[in-house]
Amino acid sequence: MEDVNRDRFIRFIDIINEPYASWIQTILNVYWREFSSIPATKHPNRHHPSERIYPYGMINHSMRTVFIARLLIVEENLISFKNQIIFSAAFHDLGNIRRYNGQSTYKMHPFESFSMIEELISIPDEDKKMIKNMIENHMHHWFDTHAIDKFDKIIAYADYLASRPEIELNGIEYFGQVK
Ligand SMILES: [Fe+2]
Ligand SMILES: [Fe+2]
């Protein structure tokens, strides 16, 4: 069952270009079990209601973020960067694994997300800066970090919109029992 759901998530991300397709496999080989078992939030009644249900809360939130990022990529005419943007959208909250197991904090989770990716993958310099900025600045609505370019803004907006319970997205088949 676990592999079926993992494959479903990979299909949803829908990146077939290398090296990104392999990077996704590498990350999920190590982190799927934990990533798919954490919630989208510690405060399920305040945020993320549509994807709050364990154990796939963070996967559902990540899918919503990917979905919205894809719309923004078209709107902003950034198709040529879709691998970098969708990859960042899919894993922007990976660092919450360390937050939920007590190794890190809410404030640090964007930085943990990129560290965890970088520990597994050697991202070429030309993509590294962009991906690092997108992931590390995704909380700029709430933290003092600032979205410094249009790529960072896309992930920050996608994350924010994905967290809004009033936004229903047709086309996402959520994992778990979502009410
Ligand atoms: Fe986050
Ligand atoms: Fe998020």
> 6 C-alpha vs ligand 2 centroid, how far in Å?
19
- State the ligand closest to the CA atom of 48: 2
| Cα distance from N-terminal residue to C-terminal residue, the chain | 21
> 72 C-alpha vs ligand 2 centroid, how far in Å?
16
Fold of 2-38+49-162: Hypothetical protein af1432 (1.10.3210)
Q: 69-99 pLDDT, tens per residue?
A: 999 999 999 999 999 999 999 999 999 999 9
pTM for the model: 0.94
> 22 C-alpha vs ligand 2 centroid, how far in Å?
23
> 93 C-alpha vs ligand 2 centroid, how far in Å?
5
> 92 C-alpha vs ligand 1 centroid, how far in Å?
6
Q: 149-178 pLDDT, tens per residue?
A: 999 999 999 999 998 888 889 989 888 866
Q: Domain map of the chain by residue range? A: 2-38+49-162
48 pLDDT more than 60: no
pLDDT of residue 49: 56
